[in-house]
Amino acid sequence: MTPNDSATSDGGDQPTQRANDATAAQQAAQQETQQRTLGDADQRAVDLLVDHGFDLDAAVRANPGERARLEAAHALFMRVDAYPVEPPDPSLVDATLARIDRAEDERSARMTVGAGSAAGSRAIPSLGRGRWADFIAVACVAILGVSVGLPLLNSMRERSAIAGCASNLRNLGSALATYHGDHNSRPVAAGFAPDFSRLASWAGYDNSRHLDLLHQKGYCGTQCVCCGNDGDRSGYASLVPHDRVDGMWLTHAHLPLVADRNPLVMQSAFGGRVMVPSVDNSPDHGRRGQNVLFGDLSVVFEVSPILTIMRGPSAPPTPENIWVPADNGGLEDEFHAPRDWSAVDIFLVQ
């Protein structure tokens, strides 16, 4: 064999030897793992001990056939429990408590801003970097709730006020019907039939005094003669007593008899200029409309003072502004003085 052949042979054996060594090491590791792994019976014994709280007697009484394995497993656990260890260093407890205090200080620092470096400076409370988003979200929800809930609450209050006023007018209508049945006339205050030719303004005429007779004579309570939203308690607007219009009372026709306060009379009383034609609604319900009691004792919430009136079965429908008096020519072109009133139209005033 030449030197070259010997070198070749040695070089060829080296990979084989390395492979054999790797295989042997792998087999040894597998054997060690198998030795360290509990068998099924031993695992069952350990499980039984755990189930009985490591009480050997209880485990043996429940499983007498596993006594040997239970005692062996228990002895192994007791050996681990009895393994000697050094007592803990007292400084370890102090270090742990100090670390907890440091973590608490860091958390408190994150919850404040502008603590300042000067002694005695007070920290300004803060929500922390991660909580501002939550605060903003809650604030947005609150603002949204107020923006939606407040108009809804106001709307509910308005509807309740309108319904209460309508109920009040129905009671007033019943009182009018009873009074008419007893006296065969509408209520007219004694000695209160002024000469309209001498009146320069409707603001000087208190038409609500006629309805006051109803509660004065016990036909209804004091609350029935004015709307609940009438802070001045100036009373409902009603037809002005006159021979030409008194026949409209309780004829069971759908003609306006009583309504919420006339806003034009209020403007005239305060010296304001009355613009005609006017479609102003009564202030009793935020100028959104007015409740109107008709001759058939029905109550309707009208959104405009201009109503379509049927004066008779064969008469054509006629638009009528219940706030504006017609002059002798039948025109509702201005807020005429009482002396110019034709007394043939539907005109309601308090």
Domain ranges of the chain: 42-76, 163-349
Give the span between the Cα atoms of 99 and 103, in whole angstroms.
6
Q: Is 42 exposed, middle or buried (0-12, 13-18, 19+ CB in 10 A)?
A: middle
pTM of the model: 0.54
Q: What is the pLDDT along the chain (350 residues), one digit of tens a residue?
A: 444 444 444 444 555 666 666 676 666 666 655 556 677 888 888 888 888 888 888 888 888 888 888 888 888 888 776 667 677 677 777 788 888 888 888 887 776 654 444 444 455 555 555 577 777 888 888 888 777 777 777 778 888 889 999 999 999 989 988 888 888 878 876 555 566 777 777 777 788 888 888 888 888 888 888 888 887 888 898 888 776 665 666 566 788 889 999 888 877 766 555 656 567 899 888 889 999 998 888 999 999 998 888 766 677 888 888 888 877 666 666 666 777 776 677 888 88
Give the span between the Cα atoms of 297 and 253, in whole angstroms.
9
The answer to whether 341 touches 347, Cβ cutoff 8 Å, is: yes
The answer to whether 230 touches 284, Cβ cutoff 8 Å, is: yes
